[in-house]
Chains A and B, each alone.
Chain A
Amino acid sequence: MSPRGKGATKEQARKAPATSMRPALPREFIALHKQRRIMDALAELTAEQGYEATKISDIVKRAGVARKTLYDNFEGKEEVFLAAFDAARDEVLRRVEEGSAGADEEWQDRIEGGLAAFLGFVAEQPTLARMCMIEALSATPATTKRYEDTLETFVELTKRTLPRDEGLPDTIAETLVGGVAWIVYQQIRRGETERVEDLLPELTEFMVAPYLGARLPE
């Protein structure tokens, strides 16, 4: 443990007589909570100043944990990024799957439900959205790979939701997901995430239109 880390711990112990309450919380809960704080701190700092400029010392300061705590839980900055990315991706996927579930609904409504869930997440969590959709692309080769794998997961999910249509090319789902990602990416870069949900009607139309068109009698 670094001298600074030790100092911080002692100081916290002095300041907080509430430590008497700590034993009530299970150790794993505290560990998870600290991991969460570290991941959130990295996401915030990355959104503010970029991945490259974000140092371990910034992260531990923002998270209010000792340097050792970070290294007890993560190998380093990249692993914190990947853990934060994975947590955000799992949450988005869960919401999008939930939003597009409804077995008795029309596929158009399920597409709209999935898109609404996705845009809702971006509006609600602009920092995470920025980290996952912008910073991940350029941070490190491993984060780029994560981004591409996640795009693939969304392509698969979209394929499952859209109707099977012999008349449309195999690449249509890829192009549609890429188009939506592009629009949302632009919106995040412009810092207009609070208005991202306004795009729902246009993006729904964008995703649905090729299938409606293909079904018209020729």
Chain B
Amino acid sequence: MQPLPRGRHGLSREFIAEHQRERLLAAIARSLDANGYECTTVAAIAAAAGVSKSDFYRHFESKDACFFAAYDEAVERLRAEMVNACEGRPGWAEGVCAGLAAALSGLAANPSQANLLLVEGLRAGPGVYGRFQAAVESFVPRLRDGAPQGAPAGGPSEATDEAVVGGIASLLARRVLAGETRHLDRFFPEVAEFALAPYLGVAEARRIISAR
């Protein structure tokens, strides 16, 4: 995001403030990705966003406050992308596939957001991993609701729903750490199979995935 023009520009105060805030949120994500949490200082975030330190403090009271805001927005953005992709799909399985595909390509297209969501979410301490956990868990009902009942072996248990979502998050985090963020969408077939197979059986899961 580019800094706004300086001097007289006729832009409203609210517009400028919102724009600065967005730039700060993008800047903290980039800085975390490049330098890690410890080295990401308020000064570095402000400089990367092209605002002054005092502007930073007009928006956030601390680095952590900025971090939490960036995290929450990243979760919401990903969720919105997934929900939009699911909408209008003919069935549960197609919806899950569309949501997963959207999530993977969204993360692949934006590595600093992927790092923020999947890596920093677990690393940065209590304030954030509560958010990470809530974000991951919020996807569990999306998977569970509408899933066919009485699937193979009487249907998966509640722990399976959670383990499927947690397992996918863990796999993606490891791929991000391995520097494969740009190629996350390549993992679509296996991630989708992993998500669908407990409910539909492997054969049916593969049929649906290859029909896409």
Residues of A within 8 A of B (CB): 50, 52, 137-138, 141, 144, 148, 151, 167, 169, 171-172, 174-183, 185-186, 189, 199, 202-203, 205-206, 209-210, 213-214, 216, 218
User: B124 to chain A: which residues have CB within 8 Å?
Assistant: 138
Given A180-B163, A199-B159, verify A186-B133 contact (CB < 8 Å). yes
Instruction: Name which residue of chain A comes closest to B195, CB basis.
Output: A175
Are the C-beta atoms of B162 and A216 separated by less than 8 Å?
no
Instruction: Report B90-106 CB contacts with A as 1/0, cut-off 8 Å.
Output: 00000000000000000
Are the C-beta atoms of A183 and B122 separated by less than 8 Å?
no
Instruction: Name which residue of chain B comes closest to A210, CB basis.
Output: B197
Interface-lining segment among B4-12, B42-50, B142-150, B185-193: B185-193
Given A175-B194, A178-B174, verify A203-B126 contact (CB < 8 Å). no
User: B57 to chain A: which residues have CB within 8 Å?
Assistant: none
Q: Any chain A CB within 8 A of the CB of B83? A: no
Are the C-beta atoms of A182 and B169 separated by less than 8 Å?
yes
Residues of B within 8 A of A (CB): 36, 38, 122-126, 129, 133, 136, 152-153, 156-160, 162-171, 173-174, 177, 187, 189-191, 193-194, 197-198, 201-203, 206
User: A203 to chain B: which residues have CB within 8 Å?
Assistant: 159, 163
Are the C-beta atoms of B170 and A181 separated by less than 8 Å?
yes
Instruction: Name which residue of chain A comes closest to B163, CB basis.
Output: A179
A-side binding surface: helix, strand, loop or mixed? helix
User: B206 to chain A: which residues have CB within 8 Å?
Assistant: 218
Are the C-beta atoms of B153 and A172 separated by less than 8 Å?
no
User: B187 to chain A: which residues have CB within 8 Å?
Assistant: 171
User: B164 to chain A: which residues have CB within 8 Å?
Assistant: 179, 206
Other-chain contact of A213, B133, B152, B171, B189 (Cβ < 8 Å): B152
Given A174-B170, A179-B164, A203-B159, verify A216-B153 contact (CB < 8 Å). no
Instruction: Name which residue of chain A comes closest to B198, CB basis.
Output: A209
Are the C-beta atoms of A175 and B123 separated by less than 8 Å?
no
Are the C-beta atoms of B162 and A209 separated by less than 8 Å?
no
Given A174-B171, A178-B167, A216-B201, verify A183-B125 contact (CB < 8 Å). no
**Cα distance A50–B129 when bound, in Å?**
13
Cross-chain pairs A/B with CB under 8 angstroms, 18 sampled = A151-B170, A151-B174, A169-B190, A169-B194, A171-B171, A171-B190, A174-B171, A175-B167, A178-B167, A179-B164, A179-B170, A180-B163, A182-B136, A182-B166, A203-B163, A206-B198, A210-B194, A213-B201
Distance in Å: Cβ of A135 to nearest Cβ of chain B: 10
User: B38 to chain A: which residues have CB within 8 Å?
Assistant: 141
Distance in Å: Cβ of A179 to nearest Cβ of chain B: 3
Are the C-beta atoms of B203 and A216 separated by less than 8 Å?
yes
Distance in Å: Cβ of A196 to nearest Cβ of chain B: 11
User: A177 to chain B: which residues have CB within 8 Å?
Assistant: 167, 170
Distance in Å: Cβ of A146 to nearest Cβ of chain B: 13
User: A181 to chain B: which residues have CB within 8 Å?
Assistant: 166, 170
**Cα distance A29–B79 when bound, in Å?**
56
Are the C-beta atoms of B203 and A218 separated by less than 8 Å?
yes
Are the C-beta atoms of B159 and A138 separated by less than 8 Å?
no
User: A141 to chain B: which residues have CB within 8 Å?
Assistant: 36, 38
**Cα distance A97–B96 when bound, in Å?**
36
Are the C-beta atoms of A183 and B162 separated by less than 8 Å?
yes
For B165, B170, B189, B190, the residue with the greatest tally of chain A CB atoms inside 10 Å of its CB is B170
Instruction: Name which residue of chain A comes closest to B158, CB basis.
Output: A202
A-B pairs, top 6 by smallest CB distance, nearest first, are A178-B170, A182-B166, A179-B167, A169-B190, A179-B163, A213-B202
Other-chain contact of B166, A183, A209, A214 (Cβ < 8 Å): A183
Distance in Å: Cβ of A3 to nearest Cβ of chain B: 34
Given A183-B163, A210-B202, verify A148-B125 contact (CB < 8 Å). no
Are the C-beta atoms of A206 and B126 separated by less than 8 Å?
no
**Cα distance A21–B202 when bound, in Å?**
66
